[in-house]
Structure formats: C-alpha cells, structure tokens
Amino acid sequence: MKKLLLLLFFCFTINQISAQLLDNLRVGLESNMAWYNDDKRTGPFFDGENNDGDEHVRVNTYLKLDYSFLENFTATVQIESYEPLALLNYSPNFDGTDFGIYSLNYKSDKLEANAGHYYEQFGSGLILRNWEDRQLGLNNALLGGRLKYMPTDFLSITALYGKQRVGFETADSDIFGFNTEIELSNILKFENSSLNLGFSYVGRQEKTDIEDPNFDELTNAFSGRIDFSKGNFYANAEYVTKSDDVFVINGQSVNSFVNPGNALLFNTGFSQKGFGVDATFRRLENMGFFSEREKTGNAFLENNINFTPALTKQHDYLLTNIFVYQAQSLVVFADPQLMEAGEIGGQIDMFYNIKKGTGLGGKYGTKLAFNASYWAGLKGDYDFDNLSYDVDYFGFGDKYFSDVSLEIRKKWNKKMNSIFYYVNQYYNQRTIEDNFSGEQIKTNIVVGETIYKFGRIGQSVRLELQKLWSNSDNHDWVGGTFEYNASPRLSFYVNDIYNSGSDSSTSENHYYNFGGSYNKGTTRFSLNYGRQRAGLVCVGGVCRFVPEATGLSASLLMSF
C-alpha cells in the first residue's frame, strides 16, 4: 500500500513538474529553405567563380527557447543551422549548426540584468543599436553583461560590456556602454506635457598593428538627447560626437587620415484627428562606427555598432523599390570626382483625411498622404591628394537622392477600395552605390491598386498595376500583381516586373514570382517560385545588395 501511495505521489509530482515546465517554456521555430535553379535568362547558379559552392539546396533554421523560472528569471537559447550552406545573400560567417545566442535574464520592477547575449539601443541608435533581422541576415547582439537600474519613476541607468556577435564568433574588440534617461516631467510634476533627457556613452577598444598610430585604441562616442511633447505637438533632438577614428580603404587603415565624427538629428510633428505632419532633419559626418575598424562598409552589415537607417518613405511596391536610398554615413575618397564625408537632409510626412459626405470625400471619405525627402553630401573643401576635408556644418553639397510621393486611398463601397500612388525620384547612382559609371537617374512611377471583397469573410482579390518611366534608356519598367485570398488562412499570388530598357543586367527580363501561404494559429507556411532581381533589399531603412537568383523557396514559422 505504501509503495502504491509513493508511486501515485511520484507520478503526480512528475506530472505537476512537467506541466509547470511546459507552462513556462516558449518555443519559436523558423525555417527558410531554397532550391536554386540554373536559368537561361539569369545564368547558371554556380559558374565556378563564386565562393558559394555548387550547393543548390540550402536551409536556414532558427530554434529559440525561452524558459521562465523563479518569477523573475528567464533563460534563452537560440540554435541556428545553415546547412549545407547559408541561403544566398547571407554572410559566409553563418556556416554550420551551433548556438547563436544564449543568455540568463533577470527582470523586476527596478532592476534588469542580462548575462550572455543581449540586445540594446541607446536613444535613436546613432551610437548603439543591437538587433536581429533574419531577412537581412543580420544579428549583431552583444555577448557579455548588461545591467539596468530604475531607482525612481524618473530615472533609469544602464551599464553594459560585451563583444559583438559576428556569425558564430565575436569581433576582436570590447564594447563599453552607459546610458541614463531622466523624465523631468515626473520631477517637475508636469500634468499636460512631457519632457525627458537622455545621455549616453559607447566606447570601442580595439588593438591595432600600426606603429605609432595617430589615433587611440579606444574610440569614444557620446550622445545627448531631449524629448518634449504637449497635447498634439512633439519634438525631439539628439546630438552625437565621436572621437578620432582612422579612415579605412580596401580593408586597410590609413594612419595619415584620422578624423572625428558627429551627428545631429531633429524631429518634430503635430497630429490631430484627420490631419498630421512630421518633419525630420539629420546630418551625419564620419559616423560609421564598427566593432572592427577594418570591416568598414561590410557588405553583409556585420560589425555595425550604431544604426543609421535611410530616412525616406518606405515604399510597398516593386517598382518604387528599384532605386532606394541608403544612408551615406561614411567617409569615401574613391577618386578626385567621388569624395564624401557624410550626408545632410531630411523628410516631411503629411496625411489628411477628407471628411465623409463632402464632394471629394464621398460616402466613405478619402485619405491623402504626402511625403518628400531630400539628401545631399556635405558641402566643403575636399583634398584627394592630401586625404583631408573641411566641411560646412549646414552646407548642402552634391545631391544624392530625392523622393516625392502622393498616395490617395479611396473606399468606393463596402466591398471595394483603391489606392492611387505617384512617386517622383532622383537617384545619384554614382555616389549611392560608389559606381564610377553610375547615372543620375530620374524616375516617375505610378501605381494603381484595387481590392474587392466577396463571398465569405476573408475572401478577396487584389489587383495591382505599376509603371516606371525614367530619363535613362536603361530603365523602362512595367509590373503587376494579382492576389487571391481564399480565406483568412489561405492566399495565393503572382507578380512580375519587366524592363524594356537597355540595361545589360535586366533588359527584357521577366522577374516573376508566384506562390501562396497558409496559416493556422501560430503556424504559417509559405511557398514561392521565381526570380530575384539583383539590387538593394531594404528592411526598415537598412539596405544591402543581393545578387540575381532563380529558384523555389519555402518558409515555416511556428511558436508554442
């Protein structure tokens, strides 16, 4: 009888422990697969000259486990697999199967602590941002320790140390950081407004093999911020300064070319029901900040300590994303005709809702959105022979990029709505891409999109037509998309873009894609076959180049 009771007690205890373990465990699985094909139009996948190897089938898999225990603790492990090689466009540092991130975390009302890998951002990210974006193949987490203390409701202090992740390894440098946020509105008992201050420091300690270097092994960056809002109005500003940093060309430090860097960011806006406006100004000078100096301008966005996205409209359509801007934060001395020290410019965003029942609004109203951005180099004196420059702080130099867009959203009835979109762009290919034979491309793009709902809930079709004209004989594009949503869970699509221009790499080529997706609960599966156009791929204003490819791809996401 005692043995039976002990057995029953043991089984009950094990059951409770197992239930508790499962209740506290969160699992996320993502697997992205590709089967690359040879293509008569885009060429063979493996030409014997690239370094990717003749591996047509590749899979990237991420398994993340988060386990909570003792109320305030969480343990995180992410296992990553890139077999037999990583997908095309990913850094060769992602190779094989290994632990990608691991950490032990503590969080209470006043204290947060991390040991292992962690992500952090100070201010807008101009001196520090660590994050993961699997679509870009980017994960620059820090491996070390982080402590955040909030002694009062108006003060928080963060201190950190770490080495930056590069593939499955870490960069050969040490990163130090300190940040404080002060909510003055809580101290001064503001009731209808908010005023906050922020101060940050980030240091990179990296040894150098250069004899008698003209720069310190420790590079320091400081940031000061102020954020104010009252009612419908808000404004914030940030200034960053970076100590002397050496210029790098072709992966080699140039000891005779050492300069400090700085950045200024200002944003303001106003919003109320039916109307809003937001304006941003930014100036960057020598603000590339990398965990290893000689990895400046890494094609895979590795080794980036700070975050300088392109502050332009993030377009949703295929042809509006052919000529996209990427922030020009680096010093570039490519030749006497191509010298840069950074960028200056900004953008303005406006929206207005035309009321229902008016002549232009109609029965359901009409939504208007306008955006304009302009970016240029820093005006000044550049000396190619002596590797030096002296720039005007608010001087606008050579034009890099401009983008003006107007979006009209109109609901016709309960079943149909449309979007009309116009974009005018200027793209200085020579400076943005460091392309010596690059053109100054001007484009006009129009897009029309209509969604029609019918049948049961979630059933609809979407038709999208696009056209791009340019001043260049190389680019004259047309495109379209058709999408059918059979239900909230199941959808299919087909799209194609075609260039009738004379560009040698894309002329008379159909970049088609077709596929579909199915989702149920927290599981989603998608399948696609088609061609990928060579060029910039951008996520959240961060861009990198990808090569041309053709093949079958699939993606599986699960969480439980």
Collapsing DSSP to helix, strand or coil, 535 comes out as strand
183 domain-assigned: yes
Query: Is the separation of the CB atoms in 450 and 463 below 8 Å?
Result: yes
Per-residue pLDDT at 5: 39
CA nearest to 305, candidates 179, 162, 157: 162
15 domain-assigned: no
CB neighbours of residue 456 within 10 Å: 9
Collapsing DSSP to helix, strand or coil, 175 comes out as strand
Read off the pTM.
0.91
Question: What one-letter code names the amino acid at 364?
Answer: Y
Query: Is the separation of the CB atoms in 419 and 447 below 8 Å?
Result: yes
514 domain-assigned: no
172 domain-assigned: yes
Q: Measure the CA–CA gap between 309 and 316, rounded to whole angstroms.
A: 17
66 domain-assigned: no
Query: Is the separation of the CB atoms in 497 and 503 below 8 Å?
Result: no
Tell me if the bond preceding 84 is cis, omega within 30° of 0: yes
Range of the domain at 133: 108-308
CA nearest to 284, candidates 257, 308, 259: 308
24 domain-assigned: no
Per-residue pLDDT at 295: 87
CA nearest to 466, candidates 508, 498, 500, 426: 498
Conformation bin of residue 89: beta by default, left when phi > 0, alpha when psi is -120 to 50: left
CA nearest to 122, candidates 43, 48, 222, 216: 222
Conformation bin of residue 239: beta by default, left when phi > 0, alpha when psi is -120 to 50: beta
* Each residue's pLDDT expressed in tens, for the chain with a length of 560 residues: 343 334 334 444 444 444 456 789 999 999 999 999 988 887 788 755 555 567 899 999 999 999 999 999 999 999 999 999 999 889 999 999 999 999 999 999 999 999 999 999 999 999 999 999 999 899 999 999 999 999 999 999 999 999 999 999 999 999 999 999 999 999 998 988 999 999 999 999 999 999 999 999 999 999 999 999 999 999 999 999 999 999 998 888 999 999 999 999 999 999 999 999 999 999 999 999 999 999 887 788 899 999 999 999 999 999 999 999 999 999 999 888 889 999 999 999 999 999 998 888 889 999 999 999 999 999 999 999 999 999 999 999 999 999 999 999 999 999 999 999 999 999 999 999 887 788 999 999 999 999 999 987 889 999 999 999 999 999 999 999 999 999 999 999 999 999 999 988 888 899 999 999 999 999 999 999 999 998 878 877 788 888 889 999 999 999 98
CA nearest to 427, candidates 339, 325, 533: 325
- Paired tokens of 406: 């107007």
Q: Measure the CA–CA gap between 111 and 103, rounded to whole angstroms.
A: 16
159 domain-assigned: yes
Distances in Å between the Cα of 192 and the Cα atoms of 155, 228, 232, 532 are 20, 11, 11, 51
Q: Which residues contact 16 (CB under 8 A, 6 or more apart)?
A: none
| Residue 184 host element (H or E) | helix 184-187
CA nearest to 84, candidates 70, 74, 94, 75: 94
- Paired tokens of 152: 């009062």
Q: Measure the CA–CA gap between 246 and 248, rounded to whole angstroms.
A: 6
CA nearest to 479, candidates 319, 314, 321, 315: 319
CA nearest to 440, candidates 390, 474, 491, 476: 474
Question: What one-letter code names the amino acid at 301?
Answer: L
Calculate the CA 387 to chain-centre distance: 32
CA nearest to 418, candidates 408, 429, 433, 428: 408
DSSP 454: -
Per-residue pLDDT at 15: 45
355 domain-assigned: no
Query: Is the separation of the CB atoms in 301 and 260 below 8 Å?
Result: no
Torsion of the alpha carbons at 243, 244, 247 and 253, rounded to the nearest 10: -110
Per-residue pLDDT at 456: 78
- Paired tokens of 23: 């209740």
Query: Is the separation of the CB atoms in 453 and 463 below 8 Å?
Result: no
Total structural domains within the chain: 1
